[in-house]
Chain A
């Protein structure tokens, strides 16, 4: 009798829960979407990411009124630690967020791991056709789309009017070759012993920034590339590689001291300490730098535009088109293990719409990945406050992107390590060239590399 009673009780409980469940579904219960993002995008004292997520949620709720969206800020000191944490959450359905905010260079790698869900329907989304070509390819891996870009950037050379004047250099400057950059930096060094003639990124402490802005943007100014899309092989050596390693060694005597570049906050030292005090002559950095100085930014400084000028990054010897660039940027994607993929995609479309990005991109110091954002009132208002973004966005139609391949992450680590070793003079440019060729060959396999001849 007691067994029967227990059995009936279990059945009753089971029925009860299933009835509750089906009733909830019929009544369109509230669904909560979690959007994981990196703390580095939401510096202390700002509200960039929560504001964007909340504005996007409101847009989404016009169609799906019962969907709630919450942000999950993942706090790490470095970007690579964020990717590690994010990838670990994507391994299980219990921990996978509904939407992930990640640097697009990781998309190929995460897609090949099976962490991300292909989103072919994005092609039929009305916003898709407005993306710049490089922004579409950056979220595409093996012919499939894995997300939508929400922000991008270009790389620029900033130069101090004050230190240039002291060194007898022109008030308006556009270097035509690497030699122009070196000679200007050396002139600044001769006239200003207290400051830093040339600021850039190098070494492993700043992670991807060192390979991106400390190496690749220069390599793109030669005839060599990291990856040859026609032969589908990694280029591991060639005259362009040799010249780039040599350039880094030539920059070393005029770049910032090791104590400034060898920690994860190196960019803050240059951008938020040296630049406002006009203590750095030339800076190779992203288009986001002036965002810190606009009203409401991290360190408002109305004088930035009159203190520093901006120029495009020259090619090695002035070869056409005269300047070179490479863009990064972040995208929103849907983990394979996400519980509500169609709602996740609807959120991505809302968060990547032109009016929303017109507010988010200037706030986060980025450039829009879609051409139609440039005509939005919010973007045009931001250009008045931050004129550099007009110059920067003009570079977007011609920009390039990093190889969106799983091995890129490992190749980038090799570059980071070698740039640091050149900056500490632990290795010579020719040793760097040899090490790069052997380590990358080891990573991608000897059948997947090519060596360019002189």
Chain B
């Protein structure tokens, strides 16, 4: 590949002899032009995204509160917030566990896996089925999150649709929002979010050349073998993109859980994002809340880096590079 590419690149560039300095100048000019064009966006990103992130990090080392003497006269307290956070009984471990549950059940299983399976089976279905199921899934995604939360609240709460349904069959309904709130919010989030993975995987599956599938069928590969050895490796870049986006989106999800359960009952659905909000804005411990935000940020970053690394090691990301 490279032996072919290099002369081709040389041929299109300036001719040797009068070109050495010109090439450097041209490259520098191009770089400057590029930088100038990117600059407005870069400034926007640094000011509106970079600065708040840095400020959050800085605040996490202070004792700033929403009200009280330290609301305005706060001091740097070193690692005190982190020490308190990592002390047994702070609630951090419990919240990390709930966030991971939410990520696995609603993110990995409910969104990524379900979205992939939907896309995989629908890609082999008749157009009508594909259009109908696809439309339903996408409509769920189009509904605003707060409306989804309310719909699921009405469905699962005391006296809700689910309870009525159970009563029709003479069954006793244990309010899921109380008896199993994590499962309740995970179902709602999966219902809403599966569409994103479905769309992403549908596009990736459509990109697999038909002759590859046909050739594997001629070679006598079973459906399972075709899926695991052909389809999945070919869409691995889409899988990584999906996992990164879903991990960050699910770990940071707040509004759906807060609207459905408020993090309760008690602390039963107190995932990290709700734990952070409660500490910062209900308990008024602003700096302590920012320390939780930093932990949440690091968790997402570590997981995202892990996916990319694992898949790179398998060499399946060649097409991404």
**Interface set of A (CB-CB < 8 Å, partner B):** 78, 80-81, 83-84, 87-88, 91, 106, 109-110, 112-115, 203-205, 207, 258-260, 262-264, 406-407, 409-410, 413, 420-421, 424, 426
Query: Per a CB cutoff under 8 Å, which of A110, A259, A413, A424 touches B67?
Result: A110
Which residues of chain B are within 8 angstroms of A259 by Cβ–Cβ distance? 158, 175, 177-178, 265
Number of B residues with CB within 8 Å of any CB on chain A: 23
Q: Are A409 and B284 in contact (CB under 8 A)?
A: yes
Which residues of chain A are within 8 angstroms of B178 by Cβ–Cβ distance? 258-259, 262
Bound together, the chains give a CA A420 to CA B66 distance in angstroms of 24
30 contacts between A and B (CB under 8 A): A81-B281, A81-B282, A83-B284, A84-B284, A109-B68, A112-B68, A113-B71, A113-B72, A114-B73, A115-B67, A203-B265, A203-B266, A204-B264, A204-B282, A205-B262, A205-B264, A207-B282, A258-B265, A259-B158, A259-B175, A259-B265, A263-B264, A406-B67, A406-B69, A407-B68, A410-B68, A410-B283, A410-B284, A413-B282, A420-B266
Q: Are B266 and A113 in contact (CB under 8 A)?
A: no
CB of B268, distance to nearest CB on chain A (Å): 9
CB of A113, distance to nearest CB on chain B (Å): 4
Which residues of chain A are within 8 angstroms of B68 by Cβ–Cβ distance? 109, 112-113, 406-407, 409-410
Q: Which partner residue on chain A sits nearest B153 by CB separation?
A: A263
Bound together, the chains give a CA A18 to CA B160 distance in angstroms of 64
Q: Are B67 and A83 in contact (CB under 8 A)?
A: yes
Interface string of B68-103 (1 = CB under 8 A from A): 111111000000000000000000000000000000
Interface of A (DSSP majority class)? helix
Q: Which partner residue on chain B sits nearest A435 by CB separation?
A: B89
Bound together, the chains give a CA A257 to CA B152 distance in angstroms of 21
Query: Per a CB cutoff under 8 Å, which of A112, A207, A258 touches B69?
Result: A112
**Interface set of B (CB-CB < 8 Å, partner A):** 65-73, 158, 175, 177-178, 262, 264-266, 278, 280-284
Which residues of chain A are within 8 angstroms of B264 by Cβ–Cβ distance? 203-205, 262-263
Q: Are A109 and B262 in contact (CB under 8 A)?
A: no
Query: Per a CB cutoff under 8 Å, which of B66, B262, B278, B281 touches A264?
Result: B262
Bound together, the chains give a CA A413 to CA B283 distance in angstroms of 7
CB of A144, distance to nearest CB on chain B (Å): 15
CB of A70, distance to nearest CB on chain B (Å): 25
In order of increasing CB-CB distance, the 6 nearest A-B pairs are: A113-B71, A262-B265, A406-B68, A84-B281, A109-B67, A80-B282
Q: Are B67 and A263 in contact (CB under 8 A)?
A: no
CB of B73, distance to nearest CB on chain A (Å): 8
Q: Are A263 and B262 in contact (CB under 8 A)?
A: yes
Bound together, the chains give a CA A374 to CA B71 distance in angstroms of 39
Which residues of chain B are within 8 angstroms of A207 by Cβ–Cβ distance? 282
Other CB < 8 Å A-B pairs besides A81-B281, A409-B284, 15 of them? A84-B282, A84-B284, A106-B67, A113-B67, A203-B266, A204-B282, A258-B265, A259-B178, A259-B265, A263-B264, A264-B262, A410-B68, A410-B283, A413-B283, A426-B266
CB of A112, distance to nearest CB on chain B (Å): 5
CB of B145, distance to nearest CB on chain A (Å): 16
Which residues of chain B are within 8 angstroms of A421 by Cβ–Cβ distance? 266
Bound together, the chains give a CA A363 to CA B70 distance in angstroms of 37
Which residues of chain B are within 8 angstroms of A420 by Cβ–Cβ distance? 266
Bound together, the chains give a CA A407 to CA B67 distance in angstroms of 10
CB of B108, distance to nearest CB on chain A (Å): 29
CB of B151, distance to nearest CB on chain A (Å): 17
Bound together, the chains give a CA A87 to CA B280 distance in angstroms of 12
Bound together, the chains give a CA A106 to CA B71 distance in angstroms of 13
CB of B273, distance to nearest CB on chain A (Å): 15
CB of B226, distance to nearest CB on chain A (Å): 49
Q: Are A115 and B71 in contact (CB under 8 A)?
A: yes
Q: Which partner residue on chain B sits nearest A112 by CB separation?
A: B69
Which residues of chain B are within 8 angstroms of A110 by Cβ–Cβ distance? 67
Q: Are B282 and A88 in contact (CB under 8 A)?
A: no
Which residues of chain B are within 8 angstroms of A406 by Cβ–Cβ distance? 67-69
Which residues of chain B are within 8 angstroms of A83 by Cβ–Cβ distance? 66-67, 284
Query: Per a CB cutoff under 8 Å, which of A84, A114, A426 touches B66?
Result: A84
Which residues of chain B are within 8 angstroms of A109 by Cβ–Cβ distance? 67-68
CB of A268, distance to nearest CB on chain B (Å): 13
Q: Are B281 and A114 in contact (CB under 8 A)?
A: no
Q: Are A87 and B66 in contact (CB under 8 A)?
A: yes
Which residues of chain B are within 8 angstroms of A115 by Cβ–Cβ distance? 67, 71-72
Bound together, the chains give a CA A421 to CA B281 distance in angstroms of 21
Bound together, the chains give a CA A114 to CA B74 distance in angstroms of 12
Q: Are B67 and A87 in contact (CB under 8 A)?
A: yes
Q: Are A424 and B266 in contact (CB under 8 A)?
A: yes
Which of A203, A258, A426 gathers most chain B CB within 10 Å?
A: A258
Which residues of chain A are within 8 angstroms of B70 by Cβ–Cβ distance? 113
Bound together, the chains give a CA A83 to CA B281 distance in angstroms of 9
Which residues of chain A are within 8 angstroms of B177 by Cβ–Cβ distance? 259
Which residues of chain A are within 8 angstroms of B262 by Cβ–Cβ distance? 205, 263-264
Which residues of chain A are within 8 angstroms of B71 by Cβ–Cβ distance? 87, 91, 113-115
CB of A411, distance to nearest CB on chain B (Å): 11
Which residues of chain B are within 8 angstroms of A106 by Cβ–Cβ distance? 67
CB of A210, distance to nearest CB on chain B (Å): 12
Q: Which partner residue on chain B sits nearest A106 by CB separation?
A: B67
Q: Are B266 and A80 in contact (CB under 8 A)?
A: no
Which residues of chain A are within 8 angstroms of B175 by Cβ–Cβ distance? 259
CB of A330, distance to nearest CB on chain B (Å): 16
Q: Which partner residue on chain B sits nearest A423 by CB separation?
A: B266
Which residues of chain B are within 8 angstroms of A410 by Cβ–Cβ distance? 68, 283-284
CB of A37, distance to nearest CB on chain B (Å): 18
Query: Per a CB cutoff under 8 Å, which of B69, B158, B265, B280 touches A113?
Result: B69
CB of B155, distance to nearest CB on chain A (Å): 15
